[in-house]
Amino acid sequence: MTKIAAEPLAVLRARTSYKWQTYPADVLPLFVAEMDYPLAGPVQQAIIDRVLASDTGYIAGPRPVAEAFAGFAGRTWSWAVDPEDVRTTTDVSVAIVECLRQAVPMDSTVVITPPVYPPFFELPLEADAAVVEVPLLSDGGNWALDLAGIEQAFALGADAMLLCNPHNPLGLVHSVETLRALADLSAKYGVTVISDEIHAPLTYEPGAFTPYLTVSQNARGYGICVSAASKGWNIAGTKCAVMVAQSDRTRLMLSSMPEEVSARTSILGLHAAAAAYTDGGPWLASVLESLAANRRLLGELLAEHLPGVRYRLPAASYLAWLDFRALGWGDDPAATALEQARVALESGLRFGPQGAGYVRLNFACSPEVLTEAVERLAAVAGRAGQRATLG
């Protein structure tokens, strides 16, 4: 499989997206989850076809993307999805909020597992719920859900849990055994689990990712999957996400949502996502080749230039969770990286208190940009080391 090449910086800086408009041109932006690759041809063409047809009105329903997602899920994960069980909305964050509004009463509690995707701290608040944090367990290298802590939170009255599967920012792919144990707990305590699976198409090893709803009847009974083509095919701005329910209980939640939840889906996003799921497989495979090379390159660069930074290869996604604590850059090394190296990284503090001393780095870029970014960071570390020696 041929690797796909990232766009040149001159081309990228002409983009109007958040990644390329937030910082001055001397900053290398490796923070927000946008990729630097050109769009998949079928996705481009799907959007162009709708525009040429002046077909930019309201969606007539989820059918095109529902059928496409069901086909992709079956081919990729052997997950049997009935298109009738699929609903759409604008994006995964909105999907989570709307699912919570159906699943939990006001003044309820929702479990999250930091360090985790920053909006997870805020989305339950939109649904008039409070957040209960059950941090991941870590032995210094590996991470896992704290099932005992989650059970305690469920027993104390939590009404729902947001599962990040794969887990952002770690690129952690939860095991079948872990997911099944979580599903058993959710059924035991009557807790709805909303599984955010947006990074699932970006799993490196075939068969490594397991959709939550496939692990058991308990998972299907109390779980809802929310996902989108936005991360895998870099089309977040087209605004289309899917919600999947596979039990009478959860189907009722989706069907009880206001009609506007679905109506706000972009018709361009609907067709872009359908094209991605149906015809975007070869492009995705090429991107994964490039990302796999970059995740290895990042490890080599860090070992050579910043050996004090700890890095564990992510099993999914193009996001690296880097431990800068040995460098002495404080709780927010991203601030030093931006100010002194002119490299924009995501602050680990945004992912919870467990992120102190960490950064998240987006390696969905060219090898040249990735190399320059690490070399810039190393230069700052080298200057700091010289000052410490002289002092």
pTM: 0.96
Residue 1 has a pLDDT of 62
Q: In what order do the strands lie in the sheet with 346-347?
A: 310-311, 319-323, 358-362, 346-347
Residue 364: its H or E element? none
Summarize pLDDT for 41-83 with one digit per residue, the tens. Answer: 999 999 999 999 999 999 999 999 999 999 999 999 999 999 9
Dump pLDDT digits (tens) for 105-150.
Answer: 988 999 999 999 999 999 999 999 999 999 999 987 789 999 999 9
Per-domain residue ranges of the chain:
9-39+281-390, 41-279
Over 90: is that where the pLDDT of 388 sits? no
For 284, other C-beta atoms within 10 Å of its C-beta total 20
Cα 221 from chain centroid?
24
CATH number of 41-279: 3.40.640.10
Cβ proximity of 165 and 179 under 8 Å? yes
Poorest-pLDDT segment among 104-108, 154-158, 289-293? 104-108
Rounded Cα gap, residues 259 and 281, in angstroms: 32
CATH topology of domain 9-39+281-390: Aspartate Aminotransferase, domain 1 (3.90.1150)
The contacts found for 243-248 with CB under 8 angstroms, 24 or more apart, are 243/86, 243/87, 243/88, 243/89, 243/95, 243/98, 243/99, 244/69, 244/81, 244/85, 244/86, 244/213, 245/85, 245/87, 246/81, 246/82, 246/85, 246/213, 246/220, 247/220, 247/221, 247/222
Quick check: 323 and 358 in contact, CB under 8 A? yes
At 383 the pLDDT is: 75
* pLDDT tens track for 334-387: 999 999 999 999 999 999 999 999 999 999 999 999 999 999 999 999 876 555
What is the percent of the chain with per-residue pLDDT over 90, rounded to a whole number?
A: 95
The phi and psi torsions of 364 (rounded to 5 degrees) equal -85, 65
How many Cβ atoms from other residues are within 10 Å of residue 30's Cβ? 25
Query: Distance (Å, rounded) from C-alpha 61 to C-alpha 271?
Result: 11
**Which tens digit of pLDDT belongs to each residue from 166-190?**
999 999 999 999 999 999 999 999 9
